[in-house]
Amino acid sequence: MYYVSMKDHEIGRNLATEQYLMNNVEFDEPLVLFYYEEPCIIVGRNQNTLEEINADYVREHNITVTRRLSGGGAVYQDLGNLCFSFVVDSDSQEFGDFKTFTQPIIDVLHEMGAMTANVSGRNDLLVDGKKFSGNAMYSRNGKTFSHGTLMLNVDLNVVPNALTVPTDKIASKGIKSVRSRVTNLRPFLAPEYQNITVPEFRDTLLTKLFHVDSLADIKDKEYQVTPEQQKAIDKIYEDYYANWDWVYGKSPEFSVKRRQHFDMGTIDARLLVTDGHIQNIKFFGDFFGSGDVHDIEKALTGLRYDHNAISEKLAAIDLNRYFTGIPREDVIDLIAE
């Protein structure tokens, strides 16, 4: 087995590296990758991004949002989480067999004292009945990767805020996440690991997976990305993981209902969004205005359904003519919460 310890802490760049190594480098043995990143949310390939995230909270807390190639549900990660990924030939493992892919990790966690860690259901890893890892899989051109999270010391207070969306506001055919009770691993580890950091956790996993005493014993097994390969990885990052159309525009068609009462009246906005763009929008309510609200509907039709794009489009329009007495920012937040 070969391994890669990624140095970057940006989720999109790490996913781009994983994608490149799977599709463009031939290994004569399986490959395992480890990486961890700044606060981010990664949605599954078939999900509606806006249906999975609390957009206001995410924007206010500068949480990166991206979409991965594999299926499954949305996950929150920060620097207290370690990601792992196994890359193998497709004919060596059955697609969907998460137990086989994750068993080596479970075995190491048992060695580290987390004796109740186990594989549960389709793709979750549990300890004492609580989820600490979600896993997903992707296969292409004879290669398969199975990647997952290991919540060592994640800020659990952020998770419900970042991933909670009112169910009555967005309706789509996207595959919705199933929320589970989650926990961090560190409290379940043996005493000598109670203060272990994520880099130390990664290195411990590596040495135990390879059955060696130190990383120096497996220097010849570490794969280093070349500068030329890094250029190709950077292009994948720009084309996919940092690309608004990939992250949001790939969401299935969905409808949005936004309704709020203000001192000067109630606005009820109904939107139909296709490929991440507003296909149709209608305003209802008992608000006042001297202008025809259809002007606003026309201006927004075809626009990218994104807070910044909507704010820029409406910047030159006097919204008080259409929604008298209701602050501009409140109107914009209502439309693109």
114-118, 169-173, 219-223, 330-334: range with lowest mean pLDDT: 169-173
Average pLDDT, the chain: 90
pLDDT at residue 18 greater than cutoff 60: yes
* 12, pLDDT greater than 90: yes
Question: What are the tens digits of pLDDT across the range 312-334?
Answer: 999 999 999 899 889 999 999 99
pLDDT band at 165 (very low <50, low <70, confident <90, very high): low
Residue pair 70/137 in contact (Cβ under 8 Å)? The answer is: yes
What is the rounded distance in angstroms from the CA atom of residue 143 to the CA atom of residue 160? 35
pLDDT value of residue 174: 63
pLDDT at 164: 74
Residue 168: pLDDT over 60 = no
Going by pLDDT thresholds of 50, 70 and 90, the confidence category of residue 79 is very high
pLDDT in tens, 277-308: 999 999 987 788 888 889 999 999 999 999 99
DSSP 216: G
Are the beta carbons of 240 and 247 closer than 8 angstroms? no
In the DSSP assignment, the letter for residue 182 is B
Q: Report, as an integer, the average pLDDT of 240-265.
A: 88
- Asked if residues 90 and 139 have their Cβ atoms less than 8 Å apart, the reply is yes
With residues binned 3-state (H G I as helix, E B as strand, rest as coil), the percentages for the chain, rounded to 5, are 35, 25, 40
Confidence class for position 48, pLDDT limits 50, 70, 90: confident
| More confidently predicted of 116 and 92 | 116
**Model confidence over 182-228: pLDDT tens digits?**
899 999 999 999 999 999 999 999 999 999 999 999 999 999 999 99
Is the separation of the CB atoms in 185 and 148 below 8 Å?
A: no
Q: Supply 156's token pair.
A: 């659990």
One-letter identity of residue 177? S
More confident of the two residues 254 and 233: 233
Q: How far is CA 203 from its chain centroid?
A: 24
